[in-house]
A = this chain, B = another copy of it.
Amino acid sequence: MIRAMNRPFDNCLSGGFGPGAALLTDLYQLTMMQTYYEQAMTETAVFELFFRRLPPGARNFFLMAGLAQALDYLEQLRFTPEELQWLSTQAGFKPEFIDRLAQLRFTGDVWGLPEGTVFFADEPVLRVHAPLPLAQLVETRLMNLVHFQTMIATKAARAVLAAPGKVLIDFGLRRAHGAEAGVLAARATWLAGMSGTATVLAGALYGVPVMGTMAHSFIQAHASEEQAFEAFARSHPDNTTILVDTYDTEAGARKIVALAPRLARDGIRIRAVRIDSGDLAAHAFRVRQIFDEAGLKDIKILVSGGMDEFKLQELLRDKGAPIDGFGLGSGMDTSYDVPTLDCAYKLQEYAGKARRKRSEGKATWPGRRQVFRTLDTAGRMQGDVVTLEGDPQSGDALLQPVMREGRRLEGQATLSQAREQAAVNLGQLPVALRALESAPLYPVRVSDRLRALADEVDRGIAS
């Protein structure tokens, strides 16, 4: 079902967010920009986006996602006449500044971590080189895009690791935080290795496989469950997943047993049932037994309702429940145990001079950084080194050039390729980090050259 039909729909989504893109920023970016222009502070600034720390006890790694939308945004960034008109009515903005905004396009270079790459705390995932006002303006939306998808992809990767070989479907649109969250969560969960989504627009936009079953209201609207089951199966002979828990789960399963031979005579096969309430493990065992005893060994069992990676592990590993697939909704699309990550977009260099922030508890490393990763002989990640550009270390450099002078570079991963990259990277994780439980921190070393630069910058700051 995967298709690549991005163009007809994307004018209103994350790429441009339609004409609103340029105003998707914090007011202070615009007020600072005006001052920068007035002071002719338009030399090249280097900003890096990174995640300060792994949520303690809750995540052992991050999985990169959202780079494609970040580049879409940069490519399409511009102020429309309506937006400029509105800005000109706001206090504090001068006509010469509005005129500059009218000309504004993103002309910078960008380095990024390919989507589907595993990474760790304090490693740069995006590096922007652009004239200071421009690099400042884009902070808000770049963070907004990369933070969310990375957070969701990271949680989805945990679910994938907890349920090897199972079908995992994103059911989260209704309780995702708005439309864009729902659509981008479908993308990020698929990238991380889940099987598909119920969100139709994510199929149209990104080619994520779209999957679905039926709702309780469908059963309730019919005079009886039997009638509802049969009507649905005959209308959708290729997609017969039947919801059996509206009134009584095992009674529902027995109705399937009664119905299946009649449908089979017309060449219709019931593929799966869904259970959405009660003790899911107990119901799954009983329903599996009902089907097996009736010779319906092929009918799969899908469960939903309050699912997350811990529930998957409990149902599969701890209880050994005979469940083939899972619908993951609110818990996944809101990353509800960790609904926000501590990420930042910080000035690393301005006009060729390295910078750092030293605020209490929030100090940052200066300069243009790069990350190198080594694998052990078994192909598992062994350790990363964060250093400065031009200070090669053993292993592979993770940050890649992705945009030059405002134009996206060729040869970047498609969503399917990013999904493959995620599978490869998750396979390279040290065993302890693959567990849901808290693992010892993965070794990330800061190079001597980077430490030396930080000292230099500190000594240079007037106190």
Contacts and interface: CB of A to CB of B under 8 A. Distances in A.
Interface of A: 1, 3, 5, 8-9, 11-14, 17-20, 23-32, 34-36, 38-39, 41, 45, 47, 82-83, 86-87, 89-92, 132, 136, 139-141, 143-145, 147-148, 171, 173-185, 198-201, 203-205, 210-218, 220-225, 231-232, 235-236, 238-239, 245-249, 251, 276-278, 330-331, 334-336, 339-341, 343, 345-347, 350, 355-362, 461-463
A198 B26 contact: yes
B212 A277 contact: no
Given A203-B90, A247-B358, A141 B23 contact: no
Nearest to A338: B336
A136 B20 contact: no
Contacts of A231: 35, 38-39
Contacts of A147: 174-175
Given A132-B221, A217-B47, A334-B340, A90 B176 contact: no
Contacts of A224: 462
Nearest to A335: B339
10 contacts: A12-B18, A90-B203, A132-B221, A144-B175, A147-B175, A148-B176, A175-B340, A178-B181, A217-B346, A221-B347
Contacts of A245: 359-360
Contacts of A145: 178
A27 B174 CA distance: 12
A32 B218 contact: yes
Given A91-B239, A357-B220, A212 B181 contact: no
Pick from A45, A141, A347 the residue with the most CB of B within 10 Å: A347
Given A18-B12, A215-B136, A245-B360, A24 B336 contact: no
B340 A331 contact: yes
